[in-house]
Amino acid sequence: MPIRAIRDGKDVYATSVSDPAWLEVRETYKKYPLTLPCCGAVAIPKVRYEYGTCFFAHKAKGGCTFYAPETRQHIEAKNIIRHAAMESGWRATTEARMVWPFEGLAIADVLCKKGHDLLSDKYFDCVAFEIQLSPQNDVTTRQRNLNYINGGAEVVHWFFYSPPRYLYQTEHLKFYKVSEEDGKFWINDNPDLDLVTVVSNILRVGHISGKTEEQRRVEELQKAEEERLRILQEDEEEKQYQIELQEARKKAREEAKNRKKVIEDIPVGKNVIERGPYFYCAFCGTRMKMTRIFSHGLHYTCECGQSEHFLK
């Protein structure tokens, strides 16, 4: 159900029940006819008194294929986004027809034109906002998003009650989870991020944090300092680890050397140390000479005279 109609070439918006402009529209619509932008049919201003929701209806039912009945939440969300966009300095239009050269048509819930992304210094031709409160699969979302992009939107922001499971964000597609309670819309289950704040910050500074530029700069500096301290701590831990590793290796080498010495240095004979296939003097450390003595076998002696050994 649209919240925009056209009278004498100018847009007329459904606002609130108590708004004088809306009262004037309801009193004069028969004298000054209203038409709907979707199909050009005659529009009738209506109110759902149980919710206090204002909208325009088709005078003849069944003649338009672009619009299906909308919930109160959908209508209120469109109004909120439109007002937030205008307060942020953008021109906002609801139920905006977007036609591209390759036979196609898309109708954006809210289309915002001629904005400036302060965060990236990029000028947008237009930004589209879509409210999708009923289930929708990721394939349908991507196709509809492509229709908006082909129609001239630079980026489309989707608000879902339950985002499609396999949908992923791109440069031209952003999506958020929205919930409604007591007439207020919350984004990503964060009570500090209401729909007005999110839309305003998207159009003003290109993000949804709800924080000022100074606050974000301070947080970035704090994060940078925390990262620097973390890196320094990791460097100290790495240095300590290398020291402990060197000590452990040194200790292991000493233990291995001692084990080798115990295994290889085997005392045999008189003051003789056996190291592998040779014998050494325990006094002077020189290699002992061998002589063969008949009927006694091999005789090893040292020149210092302190060591000798017989092998039979």
Of the candidates 180, 131, 178, the residue with the CA atom closest to the CA atom of residue 157:
131
pLDDT tens digit sequence for 24-44: 888 888 888 888 877 777 888
Residues 188 and 118 in one domain: yes
Residues 182 and 125 in one domain: yes
Please give the Cα distance from 201 to 234 (Å, whole number): 37
CB distance 280 to 290 below 8 Å: no
pLDDT tens digit sequence for 107-153: 888 988 875 544 444 445 688 999 998 888 999 999 888 888 888 88
Residues 122 and 231 in one domain: no
Residues 178 and 286 in one domain: no
Residues 6 and 53 in one domain: yes
pTM: 0.58
- What's residue 119's pLDDT? 44
Q: E strands, 238-288, where? A: 266-268, 272-275, 278-281
Select the highest-mean-pLDDT range: 58-72, 115-129, 243-257, 285-299: 243-257
Share of the chain above pLDDT 90, in %: 8
How many domains are there within the chain? Answer: 4
The whole-chain average pLDDT of the chain stands at 79
Half-sphere exposure of 274 (CA within 13 A, CB side): 12
Of 67, 92, 114, which marks where a domain is finished? Answer: 67
Half-sphere exposure of 124 (CA within 13 A, CB side): 28
* pLDDT tier, 236 (very low <50, low <70, confident <90, very high otherwise): very high
Residues 118 and 172 in one domain: yes
Strand order in the sheet with 53-58: 10-13, 4-7, 34-35, 42-48, 53-58
Residues 165 and 238 in one domain: no
Residues 189 and 123 in one domain: yes
Q: What is the DSSP string of 53-81?
A: EEEEEESSTT--SS-----HHHHHHHHHH
- What's residue 123's pLDDT? 46
Residues 96 and 204 in one domain: yes
The CATH number linked to 83 is 3.40.1350
> In terms of residue numbers, what domain contains 9?
1-67
Please give the Cα distance from 129 to 188 (Å, whole number): 16
Of 16, 44, 67, which marks where a domain is finished? Answer: 67
Please give the Cα distance from 204 to 192 (Å, whole number): 18
Residues 181 and 276 in one domain: no
Residues 81 and 190 in one domain: yes
Residues 89 and 62 in one domain: no
